[in-house]
A and B are shown apart, each in its own frame.
Chain A
Amino acid sequence: MKLSVKWIVTVVLTSFSIYMVFALNPEGQLRILFNVLTFAGIYGLAAIGLNVHFGLTGLLNFGHASFMGVGAYVTLLLIPHAAGREGQITETGLPFLLALVIGILSASLFGLLLGLPAIRLRGDYLAIVTIAAAEIFRLLVRDLESVTGGVYGIINFSDSLQKYRPNFIETFVSKYDLNAGQIWVGFLSWVSIFFVLLLLKRLNSSPWGRALRAVREDEDAVRALGKNAVWLKLQSFMLGAGIAGLAGVFLAFNYGSLQTTLFVPLLTFYVWAIMILGGVGSLSGPVFGSVIFWVIISETDRLAALIFENANGQQLAGVRFVLVGLLIMILMIFRPSGLLGKKEELLLNVK
């Protein structure tokens, strides 16, 4: 890969973010770092999925949380778990890997079902439909208590994944007083990122990737050249939704319990912020964007406490969002293509 200024800047910024974790925390630094990196991996994976939609194909998807939710709920309900008011236990279930595959496929299928009526809509209309669909999904899951556990959520499912935890993680963890379960989930999410990026790199430079970019640029011209633009968009929607579904599963395992409140629109907007930060249309950008984003989310209250000595916890918690907003504003002014985005392919035209 050609070493360019934007790569140097990105690596420096990411390293600096990680350094801040050490600088701002007097103790438990490694624990905090691995917590941040796990979230960064999971959200980064989701942002990579969103980038397939928006970066590669130009689809304004504001319902990403629902794809993550479908993946998580389907997978968890298929493995042994406890759900609902009474914590009703389901002891039998599919092996984790099989459930995961079904979960991912369900997220893709949900993308297809949502896409069939909605994908013909252009730009902002698709955004409205997807955000509404995501809310409908969340409310349905909340109210279908007998199936999904409703507001009481799903618990006791972690064993299905944790029983595969390899020994090297135990030895690593015992040295540094870390949470083994979380390290395992984080490890898997980063491994997934690696393979998803390999796949997307292959696809992006392929005729299929070229066709998606053409759809992004001008759908009418694509159709006039004999290509089925709707089908291309649906394929992109399904692929991105599947990746989001995988991220949703990891998110659930990271928390150890699944609550419907996890899938509020805020989740979607976090993923959007990460994608914009990393660079829309850049494959690996969201990964770096995610690390920086999560350091900001996790460490700004500590930073703010140093600046505003008399503020209470609640006031400090608000500062992180001010900082994230500020960061995105600065980014939009000085580098609207994000950390690793191509200036020539600037995708967020602020017209």
Chain B
Amino acid sequence: MSSSLMRVNNLKKSFGGVKAVDIDNLIFNKNELTSIIGPNGAGKTTLFDLISGFQEEDSGEIFYQEKNITKSQPHKIARLGMVRTFQLTKVFDRMTVLENLMFAGSNISNDSLFQSIIQFPKQKNYENSLEEEALRVMKDLNIEQMSNAYARELSGGQKKLLELGRSIIRKPDVLLLDEPLAGVNPKLTEEILEIIEKLSNDGITILMVEHNIEAVMKISERVIVLAEGSLIADGLPQEVRENKKVIEAYLGGGDE
């Protein structure tokens, strides 16, 4: 079932002499739920930024489905089916939850100025189906009662849900989740974990950066550990948990 979906070769990025990412070779498999963990400053988010095109690497290459996306712009990478979320949630504050989702789901031709001036009936139909889709996503995420609220009125956890929903409505092949559980209460954490597992079961490849180790170990099929930009461990959750290097660098000695 596992086959290579994305490949990273000799990827290097530093900020003013500080090595942020330095990875020789890393392959992500299709349909796998992979978590990336590591101490603060290990380069996890930078790795996401490089993959999703938000930062430019110093050297190295990234292949997605055998296509070289190294120098691609973020929106072009997203159009290939790889959608990311952000560590600090980026919802559209002064738009309603419904608008947030409908904008995310809308395709390029629907968004065009020409279409919006002429407004063919088929655009109306498309918008209606988009609204239905958005309502369905809201229902799945249990935020349908917030439909007409401005996004900035949501709680931190709800914003995380909305960002997740915005990614889902794009029907991605790959989801890059940057700390989807940060600042989320325990009950909502459970809900979000269930959603992520469900997405994974639906065939979406998920890469997740997360500090909640318990959650990571529970749902991940594979765990990658970064420290100071380099890969120090890669394997099944159980293997990683017992890895001496990982315990030293991240998990801490006397935890268990």
Contact-residue size bin, chain A (C-beta under 8 Å from the other chain): 20 to 34
Query: How many angstroms between the C-alpha atoms of A346 and B103 in the bound complex?
Result: 20
Query: How many angstroms between the C-alpha atoms of A31 and B192 in the bound complex?
Result: 67
**A214-B95, A220-B90 given as contacts; is B73 within 8 A of A207 (CB)?**
no
Give the chain A neighbours of B106 by CB distance below 8 A.
Answer: 207, 210-211
Question: Of A203, A213, A222, which one neighbours B94 at CB under 8 angstroms?
Answer: A213
Complex contact B75–A344 (CB within 8 A): no
Interface segment among A72-80, A86-94, A227-235: the answer is A227-235
Complex contact B75–A223 (CB within 8 A): yes
Complex contact A214–B113 (CB within 8 A): no
Give the chain A neighbours of B108 by CB distance below 8 A.
Answer: 226-228
Complex contact B75–A208 (CB within 8 A): no
The A-contacting residues of B in range 140-190, CB under 8 angstroms, are 150, 163, 166-167, 170
Question: Of A214, A220, A344, which one neighbours B150 at CB under 8 angstroms?
Answer: A344
Give the chain B neighbours of A122 by CB distance below 8 A.
Answer: none
The B-contacting residues of A in range 45-70, CB under 8 angstroms, are none
Complex contact B127–A207 (CB within 8 A): yes
Give the chain A neighbours of B79 by CB distance below 8 A.
Answer: 226
Is A225 engaged at the interface, CB distance under 8 Å to the other chain?
yes
B255 CB to nearest A CB, Å: 35
Query: Looking at A207, A224, A226, which has the most chain B CB atoms within 10 Å of its CB?
Result: A224
Complex contact B113–A208 (CB within 8 A): yes
Query: How many angstroms between the C-alpha atoms of A239 and B117 in the bound complex?
Result: 12
The A-contacting residues of B in range 105-131, CB under 8 angstroms, are 106, 108, 110-113, 115-117, 119, 123, 127
Chain B positions within 8 Å of A, measured between CB atoms, are 52, 54, 73-75, 78-79, 83-86, 90-95, 99-100, 102-104, 106, 108, 110-113, 115-117, 119, 123, 127, 150, 163, 166-167, 170
Query: How many angstroms between the C-alpha atoms of A218 and B113 in the bound complex?
Result: 20
Is A306 engaged at the interface, CB distance under 8 Å to the other chain?
no
A-B contact pairs, 13 of them (CB 8 A): A207-B115, A210-B102, A213-B95, A216-B94, A217-B92, A220-B86, A221-B92, A221-B163, A223-B74, A224-B74, A226-B79, A239-B113, A345-B94
Give the chain A neighbours of B112 by CB distance below 8 A.
Answer: 208
Give the chain B neighbours of A221 by CB distance below 8 A.
Answer: 86, 90-92, 163, 166
Complex contact B86–A224 (CB within 8 A): yes
Question: Of A209, A220, A227, which one neighbours B116 at CB under 8 angstroms?
Answer: A209
Query: How many angstroms between the C-alpha atoms of A216 and B110 in the bound complex?
Result: 19
Give the chain A neighbours of B91 by CB distance below 8 A.
Answer: 217-218, 221
In the complex formed, the residue of A with least CB distance to B163 is A221
The B-contacting residues of A in range 313-351, CB under 8 angstroms, are 344-347
Give the chain B neighbours of A222 by CB distance below 8 A.
Answer: 75
Question: Of B54, B75, B102, B123, which one neighbours A229 at CB under 8 angstroms?
Answer: B75
Query: How many angstroms between the C-alpha atoms of A337 and B74 in the bound complex?
Result: 34
Query: How many angstroms between the C-alpha atoms of A203 and B91 in the bound complex?
Result: 22
Give the chain B neighbours of A210 by CB distance below 8 A.
Answer: 95, 99, 102-103, 106, 111
With A208-B111, A208-B113 already in contact, 8 other A-B pairs whose C-beta atoms are closer than 8 Å: A202-B116, A208-B115, A214-B92, A217-B91, A217-B95, A221-B86, A221-B163, A235-B113
Query: How many angstroms between the C-alpha atoms of A223 and B85 in the bound complex?
Result: 11
Complex contact A225–B117 (CB within 8 A): no
What are the 10 A-B residue pairs with the smallest beta carbon separation, nearest first?
A226-B78, A206-B116, A208-B116, A217-B92, A221-B90, A223-B74, A226-B79, A345-B94, A218-B90, A223-B75
Complex contact A217–B93 (CB within 8 A): yes
